[in-house]
Amino acid sequence: MVCIRASVRITRGLRRHFAVPCFQHTFVSLRQSLVSRSGYCSTTASHSYVIVGAGSAGCVLANRLSENASDSVLLLEAGPKDMQLGSTRLSWKIHMPAALTYNLCDDKYNWFYHTLPQAHMDDRVMYWPRGRIWGGSSSLNAMVYIRGHAEDYNRWQREGAQGWDYEHCLPYFRKAQTHELGADRYRGGDGPLWVTRGKTDHALHHAFIAAGQQAGYPFTKDMNGYQQEGVGWMDMTIYKGKRWSTASAYLRPALSRPNLSAEVGCMVTRILFDGTRARGVEFVQNGQIKRVYADKEVILCGGAINSPQLLLLSGVGNADELRRLDIPVTQHLPGVGCNLQDHLELYIQHQCTQPITLYKVQKPFNMLKTGLEWLLTFTGYGATAHLESGGFIRSRPGVPHPDIQFHFLPSQVIDHGRVKSKIEAFQVHVGPMRSTSVGWIKLKSKDPNDHPVIQPNYLSTDTDVKEFRDCVKLTREIFGQKAFDPFRGPEVLPGAAVQSDAEIDAFVRQKADSAYHPSCTCKMGSASDRTAVVDPELRVYGVEGLRVVDASVMPSMVSGNLNAPTIMVAEKAADTIKGLPSLHDPGVPVYHPANLETQR
């Protein structure tokens, strides 16, 4: 991660973030009639579909639903466009892969969420950046393309998401993708989302992969294909040296269609219901309240935080909690905002004895050189996020599929990248994939401008504490292999003094942080599951004309990063909404280790 930043003004950003616009007088009642209020509200014509949120899922749906020329689609986004005047060079912070830490700290593109103090993490308040821009978090993330394991999707089906097993999901991963290595049974060859492998060929990446094998883990040539388990090269959503967000892959190619409209700066404040039928949405744009109507469906694509928040603001959620906030109940649905899950991770860091890390690249002159090379040719250190190697392992015998993930980086990250590297160092991001701690999201108030209350309940189970202990010990084992002998200096984090289980546990509480993968807050499940929010066709239970399509509908976390699965969910949902039968690839081979019960 090359932090090519001039100066991120965090103080200014936080001040802007917490300043609430004076719209309170316009929100006297969240259940006003659908009749336009003269002087306050502008009512527009209806569309077939109104999509709320131009993020990883919303951009996919905008493209796929507008393929039918007889349907009109309106896409509403609270943030700005991802480019200005059609030039990537005028919005380089979004499009330069190495500049990703700019976006994590810039509230122009970012919701700047924070959690409640975490009781099991020394009462730390955790920072949750989420995308508020065309492309959503795919315009802010580290561009790692990971699908998760086949068994994640088979588990979804067992949890009540009928038709979401791996055989029904893999074809949509393929449909979305064009992989630079070519198509096969696992990779796509003609989809909008370009996926590439790293080009830097860095010695430290080779050392990590070799060390993983020396520690006894297999090499995998494609952790998104037949065999996730093992160490190897990671895929990235980078194309021709630029970030390939869903805005670039799906939205912009479709904007020339006359039946697709995309608006920015639209803060959607509630869903408009006629009884229990969703008819449209109300939003604020340029200080003016507006309404727009959907002839067919309203589709929420706001993500794991915004989608449950909007449902709750619209009276869909736990009836008792809604009444306490004086929000009229549209539909009692107690699962809204519950089942919050996220990946937590640690940075294990070593000093490097050779000057080959990205430390020197982050010096002012070299940053300028890197920036100019990228601006002129879209090549060089700026054309990658540098997370080019990694792996998935099983922490102990009997674990059915990998439960620990590694992202290796030939650099040092401090405080989400908001502090520059101090030394020549390398690190691995490591964390459990299927933590058992579950949290929730609730409204702070009925003011749509108030961020919701976020409680992930990190490390609230003994299982999660034990798994993080394993993460530290197993990472140390890999870094201790012969392949790192030419590069390994003193351990920076946790540090040589941290050895006992109690000391490791304290380190985890002090230093673990979100991997930015919130999900599962509008859980998909069967009608008999009272915690489910949407059915397997992603229709909200108890109401009509309303779906949720984003990471919030996942019944449980996948074993990996969330962007690729979210895009898959939207691709599959698009076929469902259009009334097409689901794609299906039966009998797909999946790797199962022969030593499952005896070795990790």
Q: Where does 330-372 show beta strands of DSSP type E?
A: 331-332, 344-352
Taking alpha carbons only, the member of 520, 219, 246 closest to residue 393 is: 219
Task: Respond yes or no: is residue 47 known to be catalytic.
Answer: no
Q: Where does 80-222 show beta strands of DSSP type E?
A: 113-114, 127-128, 144-145, 177-179, 193-197
Please calculate the CA angle 469-472-476 and round it to the nearest 5 degrees. Answer: 145
Taking alpha carbons only, the member of 285, 195, 255, 229 closest to residue 63 is: 255
CB-CB contact of 308 with 318 (8 Å): no
Q: Is the dihedral of CA 93, 361, 510, 217 positive or negative?
A: positive
Q: 187: which 2 tokens? A: 């990779």
Report the C-alpha gap between 137 and 565 in whole angstroms: 13
Taking alpha carbons only, the member of 68, 88, 96, 129 closest to residue 252 is: 88
Taking the C-alpha atoms of 545, 304, 244 and 142 in order, what is their torsion angle to the nearest 10 degrees?
Answer: 180
Q: 474: which 2 tokens? A: 């197993």
Where are the alpha helices (H) located in 325-459, listed in sequence order? 364-377
Supply φ then ψ for residue 510, to 5 degrees: -80, -30
CB-CB contact of 550 with 304 (8 Å): yes
CB-CB contact of 197 with 235 (8 Å): yes
Taking the C-alpha atoms of 269, 274, 280 and 285 in order, what is their torsion angle to the nearest 10 degrees?
Answer: -40
48: left (phi > 0), else alpha (psi -120 to 50), else beta?
alpha
- The active-site residue out of 95, 401, 517, 584 is 517
Greatest CA separation for the chain: 74
Q: 152: which 2 tokens? A: 């994640």
Catalytic residue numbers read: 517
